[in-house]
Amino acid sequence: MNQVSVININSPFLDQKPGTSGLRKSTLKFQEEHYLEVFIEAILQSLEDLKDSTLVVGGDGRYGNIEAIEKIVQICIAHKVQKVIVPKFGLLSTPATSHLIRKENAIGGIILSASHNPGGIDGDFGVKLNISNGGPAPEIITNKIFKASQLLTSYKICKIQLPDFCQYGTYLYDETTLEIIDGLTDYSNLMEKIFDFDQISDFLKKDYSLIFDAMNAVTGPYAKNIFVEKMGLAPDCVMNGNPLKDFGGLHPDPNLTYASHLADLLLNKKSYSFGAACDGDGDRNMILGSGCFVNPSDSLAVITANTKCVPGYKDGITGVARSMPTSSAVDNVARALNIPCFETPTGWKFFGNLLDSNLITLCGEESFGTGSNHVREKDGLWAVLYWLQVLAEKKCSVSDLMHNHWTQFGRNYYSRHDYEAIPSNIAHQIFGNLTSMLENLKGNSFAGHLVKVADNFSYIDPVDNSISENQGLRLVLDDNSRVIVRLSGTGTKGATLRLYFEKFFDPQQNLSLNPQIALKPLINDLDALLNISKLTQMETPTVIT
Ligand code: G6P
Ligand code: ZN
């Protein structure tokens, strides 16, 4: 019998409130004595039937990953969890975790990641709970965890020596079995079921050049397994392919600012036909063609319009969903296909019920996330393979595909402006100012149009009727242009203000404008209304996508 210790702490932690995607804090915060352990204790208290259950535990390899996994396994043993599954080296992407939870009928999974935030001792760390459907825990559970964490003055742990996680194996500790497994195979087998790897690899070998940027994060081994080992492409098609604790200093967020090296290769040097990148934990993606950036909202629309090209979706799809700030490009496709299109708040967890009840097959967000009912997370490599399959089937370039799409459906010009890590009081002041103006804005003129809707978005889940309020301020104009203002729920420093702009041009209008030009009236009028540049003392946003 291994000794279970009950560790007492002086006073409870009051700041363990999960945000958009789990508890995310600086690495240093998580290094504080008992900080991680208490949150894990709170998570385990939120789960029922641990004694008959399997739990999956893995992470994106950032600083603290293995040490956290060790502690979690020790706490699980103390709680008599029946089985804990850990991937070799502790590396498991978020979509692969989601798949493993489903495949193993696990009660859930604990993902150690701060997603696209930088890692290392000076970066961020995070803990996320996914539930038995494979998706992020809904708010009702994260609230329960937060409540429990605030009351905890002790936790249970079994401080025994564990094997290092470099080899496969099964170990028994009292009532708990620890299984160290291969984190790659299940996932790449799933991809092989959805996509035609032979068709993609023939296409890539003959007509196309691919570069995939894993940003020194978790997708490196998965991409090598799929593109190099399974499809037989040259190893150098994967760059930054070794997961590093600090992501080699990169900020593993696949956008034009933080994946600028890849953007330069595709957009300026035009060295490859197709480029893609994923984030720290592998759920986000960015798609680029030679000279062409694909906006994530457009990516969802293209994916929805081309299901016939992909074996896994040939039989049709039931519906689609997008988060509120995501552009309405996919709505146009859904209308043409005569399928429902749901509008949810920001956060993948809101897609869970829709996917579980088969109301939707595909979903996506402007924040570089797209996915389907194959798992309950967004899936970066899935999106990359989806695009490659469509291109292989159509034998065309990314820019041709985009242009043909807009010619058929029209173009929703779209851009997001982020003011990152600004003082919290300034961000709240701007947000508060707009909130108090909403009532008066209705019926007034904005960017040359009348304001049709001015509200704070709220959502009633059509499956369980739960209500989520305060999900972002939005102005909808009489031409359906939209301006949305949100405060990020994933940052760890100060506050991040996000502004989203959208304007629809029908196929007869100019479809080749720079989005910043097409959206200028909206951008300028919002700044005039809220004094954003003055209050933030920033002439331009930190990131523009
Ligand atoms: C995470 C979630 C996404 C969400 C995004 C929003 O990546 O998984 O579902 O869209 O955060 O982040 P934000 O910083 O805008 O709250
Ligand atoms: Zn992520």
Q: What are phi and psi of 405, to 5 degrees?
A: -60, -50
How far apart are the CA of 115 and the centre of ligand 1, in A? Answer: 9
Burial letters for 393-404: b for 16+ Cβ neighbours within 10 Å, e otherwise? beebbbeebbbe
Determine the atom of ligand 1 nearest the C-alpha atom of 136: 8
Strands 83-87 and 176-181: parallel
Q: Is the CB of 71 under 6 A from ligand 1?
A: no
Cβ contact 12:38 at 8 Å:
yes
How far apart are the CA of 452 and the centre of ligand 2, in A? Answer: 34
Q: How far apart, in whole angstroms, are the C-alpha atoms of residue 288 and residue 130?
A: 30
Determine the atom of ligand 1 nearest the C-alpha atom of 349: 9
Q: Is the CB of 326 under 6 A from ligand 1?
A: no
Residue 273 is predicted with a pLDDT of 96
Reference 281, options 415, 485, 128, 395; nearest CA is: 128
Which residue has its alpha carbon closest to ligand 1 atom 15? 488
The H or E element containing residue 76 is helix 65-78
Tell me, what's the ipTM?
Answer: 0.96
Which residue has its alpha carbon closest to ligand 1 atom 10? 347
Residue 494 is predicted with a pLDDT of 86
Reference 300, options 354, 350, 360; nearest CA is: 360
Determine the atom of ligand 1 nearest the C-alpha atom of 489: 16
Residue 176 is predicted with a pLDDT of 96
Residue 329 is predicted with a pLDDT of 98
How far apart are the CA of 346 and the centre of ligand 1, in A? Answer: 6
From the CA of 135, which ligand is nearest?
Answer: 1
Residue 139 is predicted with a pLDDT of 84
Tokens of 38: 């208490």
Q: How far apart, in whole angstroms, are the C-alpha atoms of residue 127 and residue 146?
A: 13
- Angstrom CA distances, 186 to 99, 108, 196, 278, stand at 8, 17, 16, 19
Reference 503, options 523, 533, 528; nearest CA is: 523
Burial letters for 478-499: b for 16+ Cβ neighbours within 10 Å, e otherwise? eeebbbbbbbbebbbeebbbbb
Q: How far apart, in whole angstroms, are the C-alpha atoms of residue 99 and residue 122?
A: 31
Which residue has its alpha carbon closest to ligand 1 atom 2? 347
Determine the atom of ligand 1 nearest the C-alpha atom of 346: 10
How far apart are the CA of 349 and the centre of ligand 2, in A? Answer: 13
Which residue has its alpha carbon closest to ligand 1 atom 5? 347
How far apart are the CA of 95 and the centre of ligand 1, in A? Answer: 15
> What sections of 113-263 are H helices per DSSP?
139-151, 185-194, 197-206, 219-223, 260-263
Residue 349 is predicted with a pLDDT of 86
Which residue has its alpha carbon closest to ligand 1 atom 4? 347
Reference 434, options 531, 341, 364; nearest CA is: 531
Q: Which residues surround ligand 2, an ion (CB under 5 A)?
A: 115, 279, 281, 283-284
Q: Consecutive 10-residue runs of the chain (545 residues): their mean pLDDT?
A: 88 90 94 97 92 96 97 97 97 98 97 95 96 92 95 96 94 96 96 98 92 98 98 97 96 93 96 97 97 97 98 96 98 98 94 96 97 97 98 96 97 96 93 95 94 96 93 95 92 88 96 95 95 91 92
* 115: annotated active-site residue: yes
Tokens of 434: 């707009």
| DSSP β-bridge partners for residue 200 | none
Q: Is the CB of 347 under 6 A from ligand 1?
A: yes
Domains and CATH numbers, the chain: 5-183 (3.40.120.10), 187-409 (3.40.120.10), 411-544 (3.30.310.50)
Determine the atom of ligand 1 nearest the C-alpha atom of 348: 9
Q: Is the CB of 62 under 6 A from ligand 1?
A: no
Please count the helices (runs of H) and the strands (runs of E) in the chain: 18, 27
| Active-site entry in 21, 53, 98, 115 | 115
How far apart are the CA of 251 and the centre of ligand 2, in A? Answer: 12
| DSSP β-bridge partners for residue 292 | 289
